[in-house]
Amino acid sequence: MTEAEFIKELKLKSTSAYSKLLNDFQQKVFATCISFVPNKEDAEDIAQEVFVEVFRSIIKFKGDSKLSTWIYRITTNKCLEFIRKKSTKKRFAFLQSITGNAIPFDKTNYFTDIKHPGILLENKELSITLFKAIDSLPDSQRVVFTLHKVDGKSYQEITEITQRSLSSVESIMFRAKKNLQNILEYYYKNEV
């Protein structure tokens, strides 16, 4: 079955096409989610949201890109949306506590409970520091860095997913590396 035929089946809401889509992309989407949000349960929830969005929006898919590129675009957007919501909730709770109208919220640091399957116990502290540094990057840098360095995507794949030019992706990656270097340098100078 060609990709065009497969997309047509998805648009017709074929259960076998949906099963094939899940079989083909479930692990890939989860791997990308856990690269952005290194917590297994949250990554699973986001991956589920991705497929709900894919199923709901497939009818609008025009085929301007490959299906996989479109799915990765949805995945990165859902991950960033999750991270933004998490940050907003923390800021709101902080403001509530300052004004004295504090509402109970989970005060644990999100990245202290990393459950990324690839992280070994002895590297957990280093990994927490690295994920915190990546999380502090601007969205565009976080996306490009994570897709390339954590997910192993090529620059060409990233240009398709982010809909940016190759030179733009390279420039963003350069700035991301420089910012991470500065963040980590500052962190280790202040920790010692």
| Separation of alpha carbons 178 and 185, rounded Å | 10
Tokens, residue 154: 């090529």
Q: How many domains does the chain have?
A: 1
pLDDT for the residue 133: 84
Q: Are 67 and 25 in contact (CB under 8 A)?
A: no
Whole-model pTM over 0.75: no
Write out the residue range of the structural domain in which residue 53 sits.
Answer: 3-191
The band of 188, judged by pLDDT with boundaries at 50, 70 and 90, is confident
Give me the percent of the chain exceeding a pLDDT of 70.
77
Q: Is the pLDDT of residue 129 over 80?
A: no
Q: Under 8 Å CB-to-CB from 93, ≥6 apart: which residues?
A: 102, 103, 105
CATH of the domain at 62: 1.10.1740.10
